[in-house]
Amino acid sequence: MLKLRGIYAEDYLYEFVNKHRGLSIYEIAKRLNWSTGKVHAIVKKLENMGLVKTEITVENNRIKKKVYPVDWRDILPEDVK
């Protein structure tokens, strides 16, 4: 199991989401061998920073929270666009 904490875990998860778009929090946790709580907390931080967005879907009568990176153009300040 990869033992990353703090900003290292955030950076790693952000890069992972960029490479694997649209996975659910559960799927991310399973692939990284992390707890769903850890993934959820980091996704929430990244979402608050404006780096990722989440989408709630229903598949097979189950609610899934899927994670997507925000387009880099949407992150740039208005005066740079």
In tens, the pLDDT along 21-70 reads 999 999 999 999 999 999 999 999 999 999 999 999 998 999 999 999 99
Lookup: tokens for 79: 């005066």
> Which are the contacts of 33, defined by CB distance < 8 A and separation ≥ 6?
1, 2
Are 57 and 68 a contacting pair, CB within 8 Å? no
Partnered with residue 62 across adjacent β-strands are 59
78, pLDDT greater than 80? no
Query: What pLDDT, on a 0 to 100 scale, did the predictor assign at position 71?
Result: 85
For the chain, the farthest-separated pair of C-alpha atoms sits apart, in whole angstroms, at: 44
